[in-house]
Amino acid sequence: MPQTTAEPTAADDHAVRIVDATPADDLLPVLTQLSGSAKWARAVLDGRPYRSREALHAAARRVLAEQSDAEVLAAVDAHPPIGAGAGASAEPVEGASAREQSAAATEDAELTRLLSEGQRRHAAHFGHAFLVCATGLTAREIVAELDRRIERGAAEELTCTREHLARINALRLDQLLDTGAL
């Protein structure tokens, strides 16, 4: 799943300067919406100034890596289930999630059933929701990812979940830097 952050541009310094200069009270809800975690958002804010996109991304990855499993799983819980559609969750990340999951939208009732069933099996098996960086993935590819990951051990799955959350956060940070909005 090759999903990378955007290459640095001349606008990066300006966009990151805005992030560095924005009052924390104004940026905290934006970063909380981005990640699903107020604690992650606060730690990223506390690391300012960044001065470059690369430094901001590195800090975001470091903060996530330092979070406890419980904190990571709380952020995962802020994401609506794959295929749930808009309005399925009152959580703050639902709008960004709906956009990221758009390629996975399907009218195929069997795929919809497999997505739903696979997510229930995953939650029952691991005790937490399934999270995947769905950007660019079809419903069929997500079902295959579910099937592949259900075979893992709990520790390996949690590591994979962290990796997908880091990808999601990176994509959303790029969206914020590129457009000023999520």
Rounded to an integer, what distance in angstroms lies between the CA atom of residue 5 and that of residue 101?
17
Rounded to an integer, what distance in angstroms lies between the CA atom of residue 65 and that of residue 100?
23
Judge whether 119 and 81 are in contact, CB under 8 Å: yes
Tens place of pLDDT per residue across the chain (182 aa): 334 445 555 455 799 999 999 999 999 999 999 999 999 999 999 999 999 999 999 999 999 999 999 999 999 999 988 876 544 444 445 555 555 554 455 678 899 899 999 999 999 999 999 999 998 888 899 999 999 999 999 999 999 999 999 999 999 999 999 988 76
Q: How many residues does the chain have?
A: 182
